[in-house]
Amino acid sequence: MCANTNQSSQRSNRLPVPKIHVEKNAAPSQWGRRLARLVGAKFGVEMVINQSKNEGSWKGKDIVIKCAKSPMPPVSVLVEMLDRLDYLWAVFIMYEGHADVWSIPVKALKDNGYFTSGEKVQKRVELHLKKAEVLGTKIGTLDAEDVDSCRIP
């Protein structure tokens, strides 16, 4: 009898290894939530209690705070969220380490953002820094120390 056959029969007697659900991109998601909460606290946004959401209220307007780890990638918002929001706050980490915070009206986002498509992907609208600079208003900046405080070890 072949040694490989014996090994495979031993394996078939083992219990299956349980699959543990791991959130995809968990560290970037946690980093984005931490940074969004810091932006909210720094600029007077009343954030929702649910820590898994980057949403809040600022001067009576509903906002979502989305973060990009550099000036290159876009921030994105689920299309299903757009009807309940007034503004997107886009946070872009700049090459020098600080973050610029931009406020973009949802109407401008709907009219000028890039809408993703695909059967297996949730529909999103994306916005790059260059468009945020044209369509939005700069709210302020976070210094590099604040940005670094949100790093996931």
Domains of the chain plus CATH, in order, are 24-148 (3.40.210)
Q: Is the pLDDT of residue 12 over 60?
A: no
Least confident of 4-8, 33-37, 106-110, 123-127: 4-8
Residue range 11-27: mean pLDDT, rounded? 52
pLDDT of residue 100: 97
**Cα(106)–Cα(144) distance, rounded to whole angstroms?**
28
| Chain segment 77-108, per-residue pLDDT in tens | 999 999 999 999 999 999 999 999 999 999 99
Give the three-class secondary structure for 72.
coil
Who's near 63: CB < 8 A, 6+ residues apart? 45, 55, 56, 57, 85, 86, 87, 88, 89, 103
The sign of the torsion formed by the CA atoms of 11, 15, 18, 19 equals: positive
Q: Is the dihedral of CA 98, 132, 35, 76 positive or negative?
A: negative
Residue 25 pLDDT > 70:
no
Contacting residues for 133 by C-beta, under 8 A, at least 6 apart? 102
| Radius of gyration of the chain measured on its C-alpha atoms | 21
> What whole-number percentage of the chain has pLDDT above 70?
81
Q: Are 65 and 89 in contact (CB under 8 A)?
A: yes
pLDDT at residue 26, as a whole number: 61
For the residues 102-123, what does the mean pLDDT come to?
A: 94
- The answer, yes or no, to whether residue 140 has pLDDT greater than 70, is yes
Q: What is the pLDDT of residue 93?
A: 95
* DSSP code for 86: S
Q: What is the residue-averaged pLDDT of the chain?
A: 86
Q: Euclidean distance between the first and final Cα of the chain, in Å? A: 51
> What are the phi and psi torsion angles at 11 (to 5°)?
-65, -35
Give the pLDDT confidence score for residue 1 in this predicted structure: 47
Given a contact cutoff of 8 angstroms between Cβ atoms, the answer to whether 40 and 67 are in contact is: no
**What secondary structure letter does DSSP report for 37?**
H
